[in-house]
Amino acid sequence: GENVEQHPSTLSVQEGDSAVIKCTYSDSASNYFPWYKQELGKRPQLIIDIRSNVGEKKDQRIAVTLNKTAKHFSLHITETQPEDSAVYFCAAPTPINTGFQKLVFGTGTRLLVSP
């Protein structure tokens, strides 16, 4: 099965700085890598995802990069703002014989952006 490791567990930055969160996965058959953001006391919500046929995807201040050879992917947040403070989870799927992939989540990164 899939094993997803996420680093760092906590990250503190000043407003305006960049933040990078990294994840590694073990199953080379995985082909979909989403990132979820969970604000305090709220539900996880998808913020960006990447398919295995591309190396990078951007959406305004957030971007995700994928290195399939090394089996790692990263979330990049530029020009961080206090409202970016949250816990971020990466995920990778475990392919199963039904054709559906169940998501395995990383342990989360608590990002704190100080004004």
Partner 1 sequence: DAGVIQSPRHEVTEMGQEVTLRCKPISGHDYLFWYRQTMMRGLELLIYFNNNVPIDDSGMPEDRFSAKMPNASFSTLKIQPSEPRDSAVYFCASSLPGQRSEAFFGQGTRLTVV
- The partner residues of 24 in beta bridges, in order of sequence, read 5, 72
| Alpha-carbon span 98 to 41, nearest angstrom | 34
**Between residue 27 and residue 56, which ones bind partner 1 under the rule CB under 8 A?**
31-32, 34, 42-46, 49, 51
Closest to partner 1 by CB, 16 vs 55, is 55
Query: Minimum CB separation from partner 1 for residue 100, in Å?
Result: 6
Neighbours of 37 (CB within 10 A): 20
The contacts of residue 40 (CB under 8 Å, 6+ apart) are 86
Structure tokens at 19: 């933040």
Closest to partner 1 by CB, 47 vs 63, is 47
The answer to whether residue 106 forms part of the interface with partner 1 (CB under 8 A) is: yes
Q: Which residues bind partner 1 (CB under 8 A)?
A: 31-32, 34, 42-46, 49, 51, 89, 93, 95-96, 98-108
